[in-house]
Amino acid sequence: MPLLRIERGEGKGSTFVIEESGTIGRDPQVEVPIADEKASRRHCRILCGDGGYVLEDLDSKNGTSLNGSKIAGKVAVEPGDHFRIGLTWFSFGADLLRKRLDGILADYRIESSIEHGSVGEFYQVQQIPLRRSVALKLLPPSLVRGHPEVRERFLSSLKTLATLNHASIPTILDFGSDESLLYFTMEWIEEAMTLSEYQEPGEPLEVRNALGIALSCARALHYAHERGVLHQDVKPENVQVTPWRVMLAHFGLARMLGETVEETGAEAMTGTVEYMSPEQLGGGEAEARSDLYSLGVLLYEMLAGIPPFRGETPYETIELALNVPPKPLSAMRPDLPPQIGLLVARCLEKDPDSRYPTAQALVRDLTKARNHYEILELQSEGDRVLVTLKNEFYVLLGWPLFRWVLFPLLAILVLLLLRLLFFR
């Protein structure tokens, strides 16, 4: 019996066993109840027939999408397929897909499942001929079955990704395919934790640590952007942290999947809404500065313990990200040097033209911020107060009103006071 798993949205990680049939909707009495506000009470159902399983939309108000396309009536589903109701994404039959892989991957033995998601399955596998562990990424089978042109685009994209040679980007080792499967392998990072595992929920990281992780990611983005490669899915699950190394993984996968999706709008996006830029949430094209926005969200969360935008539902999160300015980091962490707050605020500008123009510019400011913070840590408490006052003064000088109006007036007042004191 296949498993149905919520991969994204409210209830993420929940699994349900589908026997003869299973109805999905907001009605708490159905076999698979969900809380998505765009779901109907009895939205769709999965049925077992003579030829396998089918997905049927039950005349829902907002429709059901299978592998990126709206369905009508009954449509066959196979292990590895993904379907979506509102902002809730499901995977179907991942357990059956793994059994199928055992018969296809002759040179690999699956050791453990690392991640299930809307952009495919992620496994730790043993490469038998070389006796080494590698990471295997399996793209959704629907990519090939529903879009035959994807195979060539996949191979072309992998050739580009395989040229990336950077300390903070995992190296692609191999790739393969059969009639409906596409996969590639990359180096397995021993002792690695994703950033979502590394950071305790709701707890900020130590400042120097957070800046170091962000700096490694920014350097990886700069290297990739210089070679025309966007990430488009910068989030904690794609950042791997080890005691000696930080890696930004899965470059280009969201874009590769997104090109096969016929729908438009934020609901059909393959990224994670908390970390997507306003232009992506608005249905526009992603660009290099979109990656910088996502990295800004990541750094904000590392320093504050929570992301800048998180509503009660994914829809509220999108509304906040599009229309509400983030709460200043200084209000969350008064101990932070002001230039760190300004750096993050610039990354989170809603207008891409107001953000850092390039990842290289962000690398430069992150390096300065980290070096300055390390100096602060070495100073005595009294010196730290003086340096903080100096930093505040430099921040004020950056404001045109203070620089050209208030500061000259202050200087004139000081001169008048000196004249009254010494030239009576």
Reading the block at residue 359, the tokens are 């990842």
Reading the block at residue 312, the tokens are 């009660």
d(CA 375, CA 196): 29
380-408 burial: b if 16+ Cβ within 10 Å, else e:
eeeeeeeeeeeeeeeeeeeeeebeeeeee
- DSSP summary character for residue 284: -
φ, ψ of residue 324 in degrees (nearest 5): -120, 135
Exactly one of 57, 233, 291, 365 is catalytic; which is it? 233
233 assigned to active site: yes
Tell me the sheet residues that pair with 185.
136, 174
Helix (H) or strand (E) holding 102: helix 94-104
d(CA 227, CA 161): 10
d(CA 104, CA 154): 19
d(CA 308, CA 351): 16
Helix (H) or strand (E) holding 285: none
Q: Catalytic residues, which ones? A: 233
